[in-house]
Amino acid sequence: MRNGMWIGVVLVVWTVQAAVPVFEMPARQMRHKILRDAFLQAVREGETAQMEELSRQGCALLPDDPTWRYNLACSLAYRQDKDPAFKVLEQAIELGFHDADAIAKDPDMKPLSGDPRFTLLLKKAEVLRKNPKPDTRRVIPPVAFAGSPATVSESNTVWNLDISCFQTFFELKRPLGTLTAQAGNYRGPASDLIRPWFEDNSASGNYGDFYVNRDRGHSLMVATNFPGLTPIVFAPEAKRVRADISIPNMLFPGPVVGNCSMSITKGAYWRSIPRMIQSDADHAMTASRLFLFNQSWFYPEHNDYDPENGDLFPANFPCYVISQGSSYSDQPFIKGFTAMMAALPQQTKSTLIQSGMLASTLQALFRRSLLTVKTDEDYLSGKAHPVVFNAQQLDVPAMVQAAHALTVEDIPPIVTLRVKEEQMPRPDIDYFDFRDERLFDTPFCIARVIRGMAYEKKIVVSATPVTVPKDRSCTFTWRLLQGDPEKVTIKPLTANGDTVELTVGYHGRYFPKDREGKVERLMTCRVDIACFARCADGRLYSMPSLVCFCYQPTESRVYRKDGTIQSVDYTNEHHLYEDPALSIAKGWKDLYMYDSDGKLTGWFRKRGTETQQFTYAGHRVLATDKDGRPTEAREVEYLPRQDGPEEIPPTLIQTDGTRLFSYSYKDEHDRIGTIKKVKD
C-alpha cells in the first residue's frame, strides 16, 4: 500500500491532475485525508472489503491520482481478484505510478507476482519512468525575469496531496547587468548601509527572491524598491476560487517574503490569520513546511493581542512574525526582512537557501537585533521572543548589519522538537471535550491545550539540531519565556540537554511578569518554554523552538493541598472570551469527592438548580446504598450542539448512553467498588 507523510524534503510532482482543476484541489484535500486515514485503519485491521470500497471512493474523488488507483489494485490483489487487479494496476502505472521496484517488493502484490502479466507490467512501469507517455500533461515552467511579475496559473502549478501544498514552477532568469548598477534603485530601509554593499558587490541583493501578497493588495509592499525582488501575481483561474488569499499554501523555486493583512471579523470563529493557523494542526504543519522552504511570513494580530481581549494566541509559533496592530502593521517587518535578505553575502545566502535554513536564520538575527535585546541573556528570555512584536522594537540597521556580517561558519543551528513521553487525560473522566490536549506537534513548536484535571502536566521532549556543516556539535539551553517560575520545572535528562522533562503546574489565566518582576499589561493563558541551540564553535544561538501550554480562560479551578482537583466551575460568570476552536462551552460546575486514601470516588455536578452525581468512572448515578455509594449508574455521552445562530458558539450537551452498570463493595470502608456491566 502507498500512503506516506512528507516531512523534510519536497516531492517534485510534474504531472498535472487533468480531471480536477488544480486550484480546486484544496477543497478535495480534506475528503482525501479522511479516506486515507480510514484506509490505513482498514489495512491495520485487515478489512479487505473496506479497503476496496475506500480505494474506489478515492479513485472517484481523484480520478487521475495514481496512488489511489494503486491502492485499489493492492486491495483487489489481496482479495485474489486477479483480472481486475491487473487491469487497475495497469491504470495506476499509466497514470504515473512508475516505481517498478516498489511494486515488485510490495507484499500486497504477492498474489500477482507469479503471473507473466505482472512481469510485463513491471517492465511497462520502468519504461514509462524513463520515457513518459507523450500525451501526459506536464508542467512547463514559464520563463520569469527577476524583478518583474511572475504569474501563478494552472499551467505551471500542481497540488501535492502528500504535503497539502501547491507547487508553482518558474524558470527564473536574471536580467543583464550587475548589482552594482542597481545600487541607486534600492529604496528599501537602511539604504545608507545597503547601497554601498551593492556597489562593492559584497551583498547578494534580492535576485531569486519572491514577494507574495495574499490580501489582494490591501497591505502591499512595493517590490520595485528592492532590486531583483520578483512579485507574484495570480491568474484569473486562481482568483476565481480564492487560491490567492488568506493562509499561504504554495511552494516556489526560491525564497519568499509574504504577508496577509486579513482576519475573520464576524461569527463565532472570528480570529486573525496567525490564530487561525494555530487553531488547526494541518495549518500549523503547513506553516512549518513553508518555513523549511525559506519562506518568511508576516501577519497582524488584529484584536487577538489587545487589552480588551488579552493574549488569545494558544501558542508562541516561531515560524512567522505577528505584528502588533491591524492593517499595514506588518509592513515594517516585511521590509526589514527583505532588506536582511538583500544584505546577506552571496555565499552565505546560497548556503542558507540550499539547507532550508534561511527563514530560521533571519528569525534569529531579527530577534537578536531588537532594541530591547542587549545581551545573550536578554536573547534567552521573553524579551526577544514575545508572541506579538511591536514595530517600535525594530532596529533595521542592526538587522541588516548582522545579516551582512554573517559567514557560513557563523550560521546558527535550527532545532527540531519531538515528544518522547506524555500521558494523556481520559476523556469524559479527566476532561469533557471532543478533542484531546494535543493542539499540534510541528518540528518547531509543540502546543497543548490543558484539559485534564491533574495539577501538573509532564512531558518529555527531545531536541535535534540541524547545523551547517552537519558535524558541528551543539549544546542546548532551555528557558521559561513566559510563566510562573515557581510552577515550572525544566529537568535535563542528558548531559548536553537535548532531552528534558518539563513539568508545568496549573496556571489558568494570569498576568505574566517579566525578568525584573514587572507585571505585563495583557492577561494570558499560556506558558512558553523555549529551546535554543548553539554550536560549540559558534557565536550565535538558534531561533527558539517552543513548547507551549494553553489553559482555558473560562474555567475556575480549585485544587486541594495535595494537588488533586477540588472543583471546576465552567459557568463563565464573568463572560470571558472562550475560543470555540479550542474548547466548547459547558455551563456547569463539578465538585470532586475522595476517600480516606485520597482516591477519587466521583463528583457532583450542578447545572442551574439541578444536581447530579457521577462515579469515578464518569457514569451518572441512578441509585445509591444507605452510605451514599453508587449501586446503579448509566454511561454518559457528550456531544456539541448548536442552539442558536452561527454567531453563537456551540455548547456541550450531556446525554445518557445505552449501557447500565452496577457497583458492589467488599465492606463498609470501600468507597470505590467493583463495576459490572448489566445492560448493553
Contact 343, 521 (CB under 8 A): no
Q: Please provide residue 656's backbone torsions phi and psi, each rounded to the nearest 5 degrees.
A: -80, 140
Q: Average pLDDT for residues 130-158, to the nearest whole number?
A: 83
Can you give the pLDDT at residue 517?
A: 74
pTM: 0.90
Candidates 3.10.180.10, 1.25.40.10, 3.40.50.300, 1.10.10.10; correct CATH number of 22-130?
1.25.40.10
- Report how far apart, in Å, the C-alpha atoms of 4 and of each of 103, 164, 279, 416, 651 are: 15, 12, 24, 20, 36
- For the chain, helix, strand, coil in percent to 5 are 30, 30, 45
pLDDT > 90? residue 565? yes
pLDDT > 80? residue 680? no
pLDDT > 80? residue 501? yes
User: pLDDT, tens digit, for every residue of 655-667?
Assistant: 999 999 999 999 9
Q: Give me the chain's average pLDDT, please.
A: 92
Which of 352, 382, 355 shows the shortest CA–CA distance to 367?
382
Using the structure block, give the residue that is written with the C-alpha cell 456541550: 652
Which of 172, 207, 171 shows the shortest CA–CA distance to 186?
207
Kindly state the cell numbers that stand for 480: 521559561
Parse the chain into domains and list their residue ranges: 22-130, 143-410, 414-550, 556-679
pLDDT > 80? residue 646? no
User: Cα separation of 517 and 513, whole Å?
Assistant: 5
Can you give the pLDDT at residue 16?
A: 37
Cβ neighbours for 18, distance < 8 A, ≥ 6 positions apart: 64, 137
Helix (H) / strand (E) containing 101: helix 100-105
Q: Which amino acid is at 18?
A: A
Kindly state the cell numbers that stand for 349: 545566502
Candidates 2.60.120, 1.10.287, 1.50.10, 2.60.40; correct CATH number of 414-550?
2.60.40
User: Cα separation of 479 and 229, whole Å?
Assistant: 37
Which of 545, 494, 478, 484 shows the shortest CA–CA distance to 519?
484
Can you give the pLDDT at residue 133?
A: 67
Least confident of 276-290, 431-445, 508-522: 508-522
Would you call 486 helix, strand, or coil by DSSP? helix
Q: Which amino acid is at 276?
A: M
CB-count burial class (<10 Å; 0-12, 13-18, 19+) for 130: exposed
Helix (H) / strand (E) containing 277: helix 273-278
Please give the residue that has the higher pLDDT: either 647 or 509.
509
Helices (H), 374-501: 376-379, 396-404
Contact 363, 298 (CB under 8 A): no
User: pLDDT, tens digit, for every residue of 93-106?
Assistant: 998 899 999 999 99
User: Cα separation of 389 and 372, whole Å?
Assistant: 11
DSSP 357-386: -HHHHHHHHHHHTSTT--SHHHHTSTTS--
Kindly state the cell numbers that stand for 456: 501538573
Cβ neighbours for 400, distance < 8 A, ≥ 6 positions apart: 189, 190, 193, 194, 336, 339, 340, 342, 343
User: Cα separation of 261 and 217, whole Å?
Assistant: 9
Q: Please provide residue 410's backbone torsions phi and psi, each rounded to the nearest 5 degrees.
A: -90, -5
User: Cα separation of 586 and 565, whole Å?
Assistant: 18
User: pLDDT, tens digit, for every residue of 207-218?
Assistant: 999 999 999 999
Q: How confident is the model at residue 134 (pLDDT cuts 50, 70, 90)?
A: low
Q: Which amino acid is at 189?
A: P
The DSSP bridge partners found for residue 299 are 322
Q: Give helix then strand counts, H and E, for the chain.
A: 15, 33
Using the structure block, give the residue that is written with the C-alpha cell 511591536: 390
Buried b (16+ CB within 10 A) or exposed e, 90-126: bbbbbbbbbbbeebeebebbebbeeeeebeebbebbb
User: Cα separation of 159 and 377, whole Å?
Assistant: 44
The CA-based dihedral angle spanning residues 26, 31, 33, 36, taken in that order and rounded to the nearest 10 degrees = -140
Q: How confident is the model at residue 4 (pLDDT cuts 50, 70, 90)?
A: very low
User: Cα separation of 607 and 590, whole Å?
Assistant: 9
Kindly state the cell numbers that stand for 164: 497539502
User: pLDDT, tens digit, for every residue of 603-621?
Assistant: 999 999 999 999 999 999 9
Least confident of 55-64, 495-504, 644-653: 644-653
Which of 434, 480, 462, 452 shows the shortest CA–CA distance to 316?
480
Q: Which amino acid is at 560?
A: R
User: Cα separation of 448 and 441, whole Å?
Assistant: 9
pLDDT > 50? residue 200? yes
